[in-house]
Structure 1
Amino acid sequence: MNIKALFDTAAQDYDRTRSQYIPCFDEFYSTALGLIPHESQAHIKVLDIGAGTGLLSGLVAAAFPKAAITLADISDEMLSKARERFNSNPNIEYSTLDFINAPIIGKYDVVVSALALHHTPQEKLKGVFQKIYDALENGGYFINADQTLGSTLENEEKYAQAWLNGTKAKGCTDRDIEIAIERMKADKTATLQNQLNWLSEVGFVHVDCWYKNYRFAVYSGQKPD
Structure 2
Amino acid sequence: MSEIRRNFDEISEKYDEQRKKFIPCFDDFYGVSVSVASVNTETPKILDVGAGTGLLSGFLMEKYPKASFTLIDLSEKMLEIAKDRFRSSPNVKYIIGDYSKYGFVEEYDLVASALSIHHLEDNEKKDFYKKSYSLLKQSGIFINADLVYGETPFIENLNKTTWKQYIEGSGLPEEEILAGYERIKHDKESKLDQQIDWLKEIGFCDVSCIYKFYNFAVMFGRKIV
TM bucket by the smaller chain? over 0.9
Displacement, 1:102?
2.6
* 2:26 paired with 1:43: no
Q: Deviations over 1:188-222 (max 9, x none)?
A: 11010111111111111110001100000011001
- Cα offset for 1:104? 2.9
Contact 2:143 2:219 (C-alpha < 8 Å) held by counterparts = yes
Q: Which moved more, 1:53-62 or 1:86-95?
A: 86-95
Q: Matched residues in 1 for 2:14 and 2:62: separation?
A: 23
Superposition TM-score, scaled by structure 2 size: 0.95
Equivalents in 2 of 1:121, 1:6: separation in Å? 18
Is the CA contact 1:103–1:131 (under 8 Å) kept in the aligned structure 2?
Answer: no
AA at the equivalent of 1:12? E
The DSSP-based 3-state class of the residue aligned with 1:118 is helix
**Which 4+ stretches in 1 moved above 3 angstroms?**
none
Measured in 2, the distance between the counterparts of 1:148 and 1:32 equals 16
Aligned length: 224
What is the one-letter code of the residue matched to 2:102? A
* 3-state SS in 2 of match to 1:2: helix
Letter in 1 for 2:17: R
- Identity over aligned residues, as a percent? 39
Please, which runs of 5 or more residues in structure 1 have no aligned partner?
A: none
Structure 2 unaligned regions, length at least 5: none
Structure-2 separation of matches of 1:170 and 1:157? 20
Q: Deviations over 1:19-53 (max 9, x none)?
A: 000010000000000001137x7011101010000
Alignment partner, residue 101 of structure 2: 101
Q: Map of 1:50-89 to 2, 5 A cutoff? A: 50-89=50-89
Task: Tell whether the 8 Å contact from 2:39 to 2:140 is kept in structure 1 after alignment.
Answer: no
Amino acid at match of 1:22: I
> SS of the counterpart of 1:100?
coil
Specify the alignment match of 1:112 in structure 2: 112
1:92 Cα deviation from its structure 2 partner: 1.2
- Distance in 2 (CA, whole Å) between partners of 1:30 and 1:208 is 16
TM-score (norm 1): 0.95
Cα distance in 2 for partners of 1:209, 1:173 equals 33
Report if the CA contact (8 A) 2:39-2:109 is conserved: no
Contact 2:39–2:110 (CA under 8 A) maintained in structure 1: no
Q: Which secondary structure state, in structure 1, belongs to the residue aligned with residue 106 of structure 2?
A: coil
